[in-house]
Structure 1
Amino acid sequence: MFDVIIRRFLFNMWAAITMDFLALSEEARTLNAKEKMSINPQGYKLSDRTGKLTAEDLLPHNTSAGPETKEFLLKVIDVLLDFIKATNDRNEKVLEFHHPEDMKRLLDLDVPDAAVPLQQLIQDCATTLKYQVKTGHPHFFNQLSTGLDLVSMAGEWLTATANTNMFTYEIAPVFILMENVVLTKMREIIGWNCGDSILAPGGSISNLYAFLAARHKMFPNYKEHGAKCLPGELVMFTSDQSHYSVKSCASVGGLGTDNCIIISSDAAGRMIPSELERAIIEHKNRGEIPFFVSATAGTTVLGAFDPLMEIGDICQKYGLWLHVDAAWGGGLLMSKKYRHPRLTGIERSLRLLSRDLQYVFPKQMYLDIVRDIETHREYWIHEVYRNVVEILNDICTKLDRNIKKIIEISADSVTWNPHKLMGALLQCSTIHFKEDGLLISCNQMSAEYLFMTDKLYDISYDTGDKVIQCGRHNDIFKLWLQWRSKGTDGFGKTIDTLMDLAHYQVRRIKAQPDKFYLIMEPECVNVSFWYIPKRLRGVPHSQDKENELAKICPIIKGKMMESGVINCGGIECPSESVGCTITEKTAENITLYKYSRTCYDANGNVTLHKEEDLPNPNPGISIDTFSRVGGEPTEEEKREAEYWRNWGEEQTKLWRDWGKRQEKYWENWRIAQQRDLDILSANLASNLRNIFTRNFPFY
């Protein structure tokens, strides 16, 4: 409290000298937010008796300490619930920022020799959360976070309580079955009817699993004999926008980073297929062995999607493994609205279906089917073809042909992180393979003391020998519980909302071209833009101007981080991720508003100014808040504050009404489209059955 008094004193002196209205209100907002911090480490008191106990006095050490154990845990829950409440309060700061050395002085991080009392442990919990970034806050826009899902969080609490290792069915029967069900469902959504999957500790390890499986598939003896069994030097390929973990695979896997060939991308951040093919041919001519391509579906910075169909054609042509790193963009697989064309090709059924049918069916029948595909191509690309594939499967079974030839898959493996766009709690990363049995073949070590073959249940449910780790955290329950709470359709609506919010922010940026420069149209929820300070407005766009803008944005980000009001992502080309779970159209306004209101030049000098045409985007924070700490406002200031309050309320109502109208319009549109798709699907299936009946009397 003393530091707040000192700050008020200095603030009043400064205000008397400058009388800068915007600066006053900005500082007042910061002071008000600081005083409002709801996590007070001193505010959680155990009873005197329990507070003096230590962990040795609780269960399981003391079997008669049930009441004390309950009191301690309930107090911990109080701390957690207050943090959850603060996380969802727009008037709360996103973080209480301190530089590392200052933070060390604020915290007691010592690990003592003697046990500390329970009251101190409660205080430690509260202190930790007080200074922790609220990653679920509506104003947290930093890397690849989508807010706090309470059901997933409840699942994580249960997971911690169960404290289960995931290596055998014997230890984790319920969780192993859950994992099978959820991963099978995810493969079906990708477009695979078979295969294998596993939950891994993060997308980087998921990508490593794909790399190891690809090498094992091409050179199965490498597992026992190492590099000496290789007929030449292996090379792999990825784009210059891919995640650094792909290059790390080359290092960890023994190839060396020089053998991870970087393919250039286009202006939108997508890998250029012609450059990939040129590089493959070049390295083959050198006598090297191209074996692995990692395409990206949702790059970290720009949210770009590599052209999977074209890359898949190249991989098939030269016999390379295609891995799709959809750690970020994989969530769009849940959206019928946004899955295509971004992820078209991840399952690759359409193109190969029309091309390879000639090897299975008579010529006229093949031509009939191809003609139908070309006539209704947009429907085949989506969901309708799955009904047809079932018919083809039935026919091919009677013909004793291999249906896999027809529905050959392009991607051999896919990384997909539900802890990103789907909003599951960290960490929750999955790796999927189209070929069943490859994980166990690649990684199995047959440790008999864990993976005995004479168990009383089906040992195929044991997952420990499929992975490179032994102990594996239970990451499935929080996802399973969250999926139950939303349903597959609910996930789709969530993804649609996030994408709609990104498009909304783009419209807001385009509406203020003098203040903001949109770097490119987003494919995902990453919206990349620059703030244009007054001194650069009206200056023709050039490389020199871009260089200046690139210097300004990191300074703005740093100042916002220090104030604790907003935490956003930003690099030389700042990328704002609007993935937070937002229910109102105010959080994106806040981001643009803060960029305009708190402006700094390239040297870091504050240039606070009044933007007449930029309203207060958050009516919940009054413009005249400064009056509580800096004296009474003038009549002119009161009138201006009242004007902006009324304006904000009016705009909020207009946006809400607009949102309701849009929601109703699109819902009706979706119903109509689904009805048309259902009719067309039935007609297609009927036409194909007639075609098959004419050609195959036994059908």
Structure 2
Amino acid sequence: MEDHRKVLAETFDIIQEYIDSLNNPAQKVNEFMLPEALKSRFDFELRANGTPYNALLDFIRQYLHLSVKTGSKQYLNQLFGGLNLPALLGEFITSLSNTSMYTYEVAPVATLMEMEIVRKMNSFTRFTHGDGTFLTGGSNTNLVAMITARNHLFPEGKEKGMAHLPTLTAFVSERSHFSFTKAANAIGLGTQNLKKVAVDNHGKICSRALTEAIEASLNRGEVPFFIGATCGTTEMGAFDNLAELVPVARRYNMWLHADGSWGGSAIMSPNWRHLFNGIEQCDSFSWNPHKLMNIPLICSVLLVKDASVLREALSSDDTSYIYHNDDSSQYDLGPKSLQCGKRVDSLKLWLAWKYFGDEGYVARINHLFALAQYATSVIEQHPRLELMCPTQTLNVNFRYVPASGDEADKFNHKIRQSLVESGKSMVNYCHLPNGLSIRLILLNPDLEKSDIDRFFRNYLTEAKMIEEKSVTKV
């Protein structure tokens, strides 16, 4: 057996070098390669004979070199990123201790940590008699919210299935996350019975249109049971007006879920808590710390207002081999989860929260909102940049207006692709009613104005280069 101490020391040297590289302006965000080129560059094949540790360390170096540097300050692409050292330490220790969260017996410390985190989160939602559970991503929080709503409102559906229920319908905005569509498929609701409601010019669901859609469903003999609001849409960062949706849900006896997968952590800041007005009257809330709290993937929580609903909706009776009636069984978290094996995602969040505290996270979140406004001002002051929609939260949507008169959608797609292939910056795009939009996401709290300036320099440089090539061709 090779010396574990030596291997671990060399591994952590590699990790330190990687972390240091994230602050190097010359470090590319990615080494762009098409799949066939990457296959020829990296030895993916698994063989009959094993490989010594020194070779594994080389593979680790290659993996880090060829992977996207999501901790880079020029990674502005998806709804995760940055480097959170206390949480990273938690991720290491979680894998080292390697336990599952179904019973207190095998995960005593992690169980109490998860319970404390849920309690703390519910202090922000004001679910005074609430509960919650960690899940495997924001998509699954929406799925479990929908299952819980169905089984709470129609308990017979848990054992007898959808065939014994009336035709149920659920309602979300047309800018909601696609996970609601997948949830409708997964629970047997049917994607056609997920009704997508029109939004206003700011991307927020229209309460009047929602009421009309619910009435139309009732007139068809259907039973509306679920409203999925969004606290931070993936494209525009829009927050649905929860206070307007609460009376609609109560009027029709529907479950009101708030999907805060993207924007949920903003509830911690007094400056932005108004975006969640009405949250205390919702039935459930998705909160993804792996986004705005910069916890390593995956870290997602579903909170519920009524502490009894998760166990009622999700528990199973044939579990005596694992769940025993003993002094600590009331602490077992497995019965209120769809999972059996359940990874410890609480330690990394607990360590980060313990380190930064509420005040530290509030400062980080407020800093990001200020950066979003700064990025917006850069766009507004540049003659060739155009804001595609008002910046509401942390999504800054813009495009370059080509002087050549080229079609803007295709031109900006070329800029974005050229930028990604260069490795200088990584940013994504979306489609808004007025065209293709470059979607700049601000969530890495280590970002400074200089990083924003650098991104725009990179974007404008690529735009100028493409324009010059177009002129040369003509």
TM-score normalised by the shorter chain: which range applies? Answer: over 0.9
SS of residue matched to 1:223: helix
- Give the letter for the 1:566 counterpart: S
Counterparts of 2:187 and 2:466, CA distance in 1: 43
1:118 aligns with 2:72: no
Q: Give the conservation status (yes or no) of the 8 Å contact 2:105–2:328.
A: no
Shift of 1:607: 6.5
CA distance in 2, matches of 1:583, 1:205: 30
**Corresponding residue for 2:234?**
300
- The SS at the match of 1:267 is coil
Q: Assess if the C-alpha contact under 8 Å between 2:226 and 2:255 holds in 1.
A: yes
The match for 2:328 among 458, 462, 480 is 458
**Which of 450, 462, 472 in structure 2 is aligned with 1:598?**
462
Note the 1:518-667 alignment, pairs <5 A. Answer: 518-536=387-405, 548-571=407-430, 572-599=436-463, 605=469
1:142 aligns with 2:77: yes
CA distance in structure 2 between the partners assigned to 1:583 and 1:104 by the alignment: 34
Of 177, 187, 207, the match for 1:243? 177
Structure-2 separation of matches of 1:299 and 1:170: 39
Q: For the residues of structure 1 that align with 2:55 and 2:391, how far apart are their CA atoms?
A: 48
1:444 maps onto 2:315 in alignment: yes
- Judging by fraction of residues, say which structure has more helix: 1
**Alignment check: 8 A CA contact 1:600 1:606 kept:** no
Task: Return the TM-score normalized by structure 2.
Answer: 0.96
Structure 1: distance between partners of 2:250 and 2:46: 56
In the TM superposition, what are the counterparts of 1:132-211 in structure 2 within 5 Å? Answer: 132-211=67-146
Deviation string, structure 1 residues 466-501 (Cα, Å, up to 9, x no partner): 111110111000000000110011111111000000
1:258-277 to structure 2, matched below 5 A, reads: 258-277=192-211
Q: Deviations over 1:568-603 (max 9, x none)?
A: 121332211122223531111122212211126999
Structure-1 residue corresponding to 2:433: none
- 8 Å CA contact 1:600–1:607 kept in 2: the answer is no
User: How many residues align structurally?
Assistant: 466
CA pair 305-71 structure 1, distance change in 2 beyond 3 A: same
| Aligned positions of 1:219-618 closer than 5 A | 219-230=154-165, 232-340=166-274, 342-347=275-280, 409=281, 411-446=282-317, 447-453=319-325, 455=326, 457-512=327-382, 514-536=383-405, 548-571=407-430, 572-599=436-463, 605=469
Please tell me whether the aligned partners of residues 371 and 448 of structure 2 are also in contact (alpha carbons under 8 angstroms): no
Contact 1:578 1:588 in 2 (8 A): no
Match of 1:109 among 35, 38, 44: 44
Structure 1 residues 603 and 516: alpha-carbon distance in aligned structure 2, compared to 1, 3 A threshold = closer
Give the drift of 1:76.
Answer: 1.0
Q: Once the two structures are superposed, what CA deviation does each residue of 1:150-189 show, in whole Å capped at 9, x if it has no partner?
A: 1111110111111111110000000000000011000111
CA distances 1:192-236 after superposition (whole Å, capped 9, x unpaired) = 211110000000111111001100111101111112331x20000
- Measure how far apart 1:318 and its partner are: 1.1
Task: Find the aligned partners of 2:390 and 2:278 in 1 and give their Cα distance.
Answer: 22
- What is the rounded CA distance, in whole Å, between the counterparts of 1:534 and 1:593 in structure 2? 17
Q: CA deviation at 1:95?
A: 1.0
SS of the residue corresponding to residue 89 of structure 2 reads helix
1:155 partner amino acid: G
Over residues 265-296 of structure 1, what are the superposed CA-to-partner deviations in whole Å (9 max), with x where a residue is unaligned?
Answer: 11111101100000001111111000000000
Q: Contact conserved, 1:303 with 1:525, CA < 8 A, in 2?
A: yes
| 1:346 shift after superposition | 1.0
Instruction: State, as a whole percentage, how many aligned pairs show the same letter.
Output: 34
CA deviation after TM superposition for structure 1 residue 425, in Å: 1.1
Residue 267 and residue 602 in structure 1: after superposition, are their counterparts in 2 closer, same or farther (change >3 A)? farther
Aligned CA distance change for structure 1 residues 602 and 165 (closer, same or farther; 3 Å)? same
Could you list the per-position Cα deviations for residues 349-391 of structure 1 after superposition, in whole angstroms to 9, with x for gaps in the alignment?
Answer: xxxxxxxxxxxxxxxxxxxxxxxxxxxxxxxxxxxxxxxxxxx
Letter of the 2:167 counterpart: E
Please state how far the C-alpha of 1:606 moved relative to its aligned partner. 5.9
Preserved CA contact (<8 Å) 2:152 2:312: no
Does the 8 A contact of 1:424 with 1:479 survive in 2? yes
Closer, same or farther: CA 607–445 of 1 in aligned 2, 3 Å: farther
On the 8 A contact 1:200/1:429 being kept in 2, the answer is yes
Q: Which has the larger radius of gyration?
A: 1
Q: Hey, what does 1:380 align to over in structure 2?
A: none
C-alpha offsets along residues 650-682 of structure 1, whole Å, 9 cap, x if unaligned? xxxxxxxxxxxxxxxxxxxxxxxxxxxxxxxxx
> Conserved in 2, the CA contact under 8 Å of 1:533 and 1:601?
no
The answer (yes or no) to whether the contact 1:203–1:327 under 8 Å persists in 2 is: yes
- Report SS of the residue matched to 2:233: coil
Q: Which residue of 2 aligns with 1:212?
A: 147
Any conservation in 2 of the 1:239–1:295 contact (CA below 8 Å)? yes
Counterpart Cα distance in 2 of 1:146 and 1:497: 16
The code of the aligned residue for 1:113 comes to A
- Partner-residue secondary structure (3-state), 1:176: helix
3-state SS in 2 of match to 1:598: helix
Structure 2 gap ranges (5+)? 431-435
Query: Distance between the aligned counterparts of 2:471 and 2:335, measured in 1?
Result: 60
Kept after mapping to 1: 8 A contact 2:404/2:467? no
Distance (Å, rounded) in 2 between the aligned partners of 1:603 and 1:251: 45
Is the 1:190–1:346 contact (alpha carbons within 8 Å) kept by the matching residues of 2?
yes
In structure 1, C-alpha distance between the alignment counterparts of 2:113 and 2:363, rounded to whole Å: 23
State the Cα distance separating 1:90 from its structure 2 match: 2.3
Q: Deviations over 1:598-640 (max 9, x none)?
A: 12699994679xxxxxxxxxxxxxxxxxxxxxxxxxxxxxxxx
Q: What SS does the aligned partner of 1:290 have?
A: strand
Normalization by structure 1: what TM-score? 0.65
How far 1:424 sits from its partner (Å)? 1.0
RMSD: 1.6
AA matched with 2:287: W
* Paired residue type of 2:135: A
**One-letter amino acid of the counterpart of residue 285, structure 2:** V
- 5+ residue gaps, structure 1, are 1-56, 59-67, 348-408, 537-544, 609-699
> What SS class does the counterpart of residue 161 from structure 2 fall into?
helix
Whole-angstrom distance in 1 between the partners of 2:465 and 2:31:
25
- Are 2:369 and 2:393, in contact at CA under 8 Å, matched by a contact in 1? yes
Distance verdict in 2 for CA 1:112–1:281, change over 3 Å: same
**Tell me, what secondary structure is at the counterpart of 2:279?**
coil
More strand by share: 2
Deviations 1:429-479 (A, max 9, x none): 0000001111111111131100122x2x23111111211111011100000
Residue 554 to residue 604, structure 1, CA distance change in 2 (3 Å): farther
Say if 1:607 and 1:185 are closer, same or farther in 2 by CA, change over 3 A: farther
